[in-house]
Chain A
Amino acid sequence: MTWAAAVFLMLGVAGQRLFGMFVAGSLLARRPLSRSFADLVPVAVVAALVAQLTFSRAGSLEIDARLAGMAVAAVLVWRRAPFAVVVVAAAATAAGLRAF
């Protein structure tokens, strides 16, 4: 993270929020298909990040304790556990496996 990156991220995020508040509402209401595509973009990109963070290590795919932690996280998310429980249980699982 650099100050330049933080400033550019800020401009892009704030810009999209204001665009949504003042412009996008009426545009998207007329285009239901674009609306449902736009709805799914964040979920898709975040899921891709989750996959990369779970399986990648220095440019290649690798299966290790992270996968076990994420499996626990997935079950807890599915069971509607509180956010903090998901995060702590995932970390504890991975840490526990590494301790052996």
Chain B
Amino acid sequence: MDVSGILASHAAKYKSVTVEKETPLEVDAGSLMVTDLNPIDEESYNANLEEHLQSLARDGAQALFASLFTLPTRPSADGPLAQLPPPTYQLPRAKPLPKPKPPTKWEVFASAKGIQKKVRDKKEWDEEKQEWVNRWGRDGKNKQLEDQWITEVPLHADVDFDPRKVARDERKARVAKNEKQRDQNLARAAGKGPREERKRDIEKTLATTRISTASMGKFDKKLDGEKKVRGVKRKFDPTEAPIDHEKEASLALISRMESDSKKTRREPQPEESVLNVRKAVRFASKGRGGIALGRESAGGRGRGRGGRGRGKR
């Protein structure tokens, strides 16, 4: 019995599970990725593009699945799960590189003068104690003058001259100066210094004057290198953000609107009846007010009289 025909038709129906290529496919099972480095076969590409792409995709998928089935598995409720190895392919970074920090004033000066940065140790050798001590901080060397038990006083010093206090004040002033310079550096980096503010002011004034002509700046003579004035671009919330934030913002807005209307509304409430209650109370109590009226109806006459005296305000 000749089964070669059946076998041939069977083989045509089911393609081989092994993928043979000139350059073997690179499979990165960790990120479920296959890279085909073979050059494109121009003949089949031109003949039938769709078929060519499908066969390429089929080979890639076949190679990926073949590699997945060699991986160790772990049983789970949904059937065995393959345990992926860590990915080997280096994905490009999603975010751009962080921008370098703007140089401080000192760094600019140092680079101009060619001064090299020297890293000082935090510890310093103390000859007297014969040990390493902190340069600053706890038991720092910079506090030595304040801590020593005897201090030299300069000639012709005041009676109340306190060498400890002088040394401490000098140290504190140095710290304050450093802090101030740091703040100035930060402000310069953020573009918030007095210089930048002045620059912004001038630009604003210039933009205003340019549109302050009869034609609102449309038919004015343009100068060379004059930049186009750009307005403020409107910015909206993203459409696809989670809806909960939007809901909360709306509810907050409604409650704010309600409280605003309560604050501003001074006219009588619309739910009030035809009866003018204030006027009716004044009439019934003969001008003495609601409290006196209530007391009169509840208690005896004597109390009512007492109330009358106090009721006159």
User: Do the two shown chains form a genuine complex with each other?
Assistant: no
